[in-house]
């Protein structure tokens, strides 16, 4: 898989992959234009939406109507490190959700691929090359 990252202006950064373009920017207070989410916001959103996919798939596989359901995701910071220390997912189950499936849906959401990659991180390699002439 290859993703192309480009710099369209100021502090905007875009990622192109599979026919989609994901736009990011920094907040105005950080020197950006505030025109798109910051990359870290998208990181958090990827965790939440990944958990959501697993939750939704679980309900659909069992014929459970997901109307009214969702996830409330919250973070807690570690002030010493200046980083997030804890991410919590509160699965908001729809009315009539069978009690017998509550532990199972938690296990299903726990399989989120994004989360699993954080828990068992890949190796990162950073190299340089020359850009092609425009």
pLDDT tens, position by position, for the chain (134 residues)?
899 999 999 999 999 999 999 999 999 999 999 999 999 999 999 999 999 999 999 999 999 999 999 999 999 999 999 999 999 999 999 999 999 999 999 999 999 999 999 999 999 999 999 986 76
pLDDT at 46: 97
- Same-domain pairing of 20 and 61: no
- Same-domain pairing of 26 and 73: no
What total of structural domains would you count in the chain?
A: 2
Tokens of 75: 């973070």
- Same-domain pairing of 91 and 31: no
pLDDT at 42: 97
- Same-domain pairing of 51 and 21: no
- Same-domain pairing of 57 and 117: yes
Structural domain that includes position 32: 1-37
pLDDT at 133: 72
pLDDT at 33: 98
- Same-domain pairing of 64 and 17: no
Tokens of 5: 């990252």
- Which CATH number is 116's domain given? 3.30.300.20
């Amino acid at each position: 898989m290859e993703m192309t990252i480009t710099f369209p202006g100021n502090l905007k950064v875009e990622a192109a992959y599979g026919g989609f373009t994901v736009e990011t920017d920094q907040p105005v207070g950080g020197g950006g234009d505030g025109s798109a989410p910051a990359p870290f916001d998208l990181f958090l959103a990827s965790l939440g939406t990944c958990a959501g996919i697993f939750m939704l798939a679980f309900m659909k596989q069992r014929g459970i109507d997901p109307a009214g359901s969702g996830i409330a995701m919250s973070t807690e910071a570690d002030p010493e490190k200046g980083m997030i220390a804890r991410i919590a997912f509160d699965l908001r189950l729809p009315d009539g959700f069978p009690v017998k499936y509550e532990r199972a849906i938690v296990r299903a959401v726990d399989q989120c691929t994004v989360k699993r990659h954080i828990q068992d991180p890949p190796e990162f390699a950073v190299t340089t090359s020359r850009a092609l002439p425009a």
